């Protein structure tokens, strides 16, 4: 990036804090200005973690991300938030995005619509109590949700474009290889923060990709950078 003539420029990006109280024309919006060093070949990706928080490994992951100055997105399970509120508060305080991964991790498209929506709402209510009012983006368990349920969710929904299979492989080198081979600009990486191997693979991936010019941002920041305005009740897999 130095010898090949690529020039660096500092650009100020305005990230709107969208959907603070819901979706619609009357929603309140705030903005924050973030400076990002950008080159003509900069790639932006979002590292996401499901099924936490883990009282064994999430803190170690947060320590590693903090040391590297990297922000991620955590889709948390409500019944685990109940006994790990301080960890979730730390996530938000350190600049990570916290999202709704349901309260009980049921496969939503296999239960009654009312039950599925109640489960998501229960987790949302808990996050509002623990972190304050806001719109918490949703990742449905297993990435599955019915069209009827989808249309009734008052937040953007996010799946993934890079599946590391970390929960299955539980092998640092194999998970790292998938990330390095499959991750490109605008991708959303799926991982889980309740495995030691996943935490190590994630931090090694951050080191390797950051050295190549990749910038890790939250899902919400990724969409803002790509000038994509997410809609409530819409399901996204990447920001491209």
Task: Provide the annotated active-site residues.
Answer: 50, 192
Q: Name the H helices within the chain.
A: 58-68, 78-81, 85-93, 113-131, 147-151, 166-169, 172-182, 196-211, 219-225
Residue 75 CA: distances (Å) to CA of 10, 52, 91, 92, 169: 31, 7, 11, 12, 20
- The burial class, CB within 10 Å (0-12 / 13-18 / 19+), for 45 is buried
- 144 with 109: CB under 8 angstroms? yes
Q: What is the C-alpha to C-alpha distance for residues 4 and 102, in angstroms, rounded to an integer?
A: 47
- 164 with 115: CB under 8 angstroms? no
Unique residue bearing structure tokens 């209510």: 125
Closest CA to 17 of 189, 230, 185: 230
Number of Cβ within 10 Å of residue 66's Cβ equals 14
- 99 with 138: CB under 8 angstroms? yes
């Amino acid at each position: 990036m130095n010898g090949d003539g690529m020039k660096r420029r500092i650009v100020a990006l305005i990230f709107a804090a969208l959907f603070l109280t819901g979706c619609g024309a009357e929603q309140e919006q705030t903005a924050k200005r973030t400076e990002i060093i950008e080159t003509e070949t900069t790639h932006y990706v979002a590292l996401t973690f499901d099924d936490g928080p883990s009282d064994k490994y999430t803190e170690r992951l947060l320590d590693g991300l903090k040391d590297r100055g990297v922000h991620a997105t955590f889709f948390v399970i409500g019944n685990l938030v109940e006994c790990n509120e301080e960890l979730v508060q730390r996530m938000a305080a350190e600049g990570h995005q916290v999202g709704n991964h349901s309260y009980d991790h049921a496969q939503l498209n296999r239960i009654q619509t009312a039950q599925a929506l109640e489960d998501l709402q229960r987790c949302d209510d808990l996050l509002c109590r623990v972190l304050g009012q806001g719109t918490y983006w949703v990742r449905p368990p297993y990435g599955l949700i019915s069209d009827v349920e989808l249309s009734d969710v008052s937040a953007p929904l996010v799946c993934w474009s890079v599946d590391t299979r970390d929960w299955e492989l539980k092998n640092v080198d194999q998970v790292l290889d998938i990330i390095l081979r499959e991750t490109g600009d605008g991708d959303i990486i799926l991982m889980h923060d309740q495995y030691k191997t996943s935490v190590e693979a994630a931090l090694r991936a951050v080191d390797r990709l950051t050295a190549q010019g990749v910038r890790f941002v939250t899902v919400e920041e990724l969409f803002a950078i790509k000038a994509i305005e997410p809609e409530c009740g819409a399901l996204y897999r990447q920001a491209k």
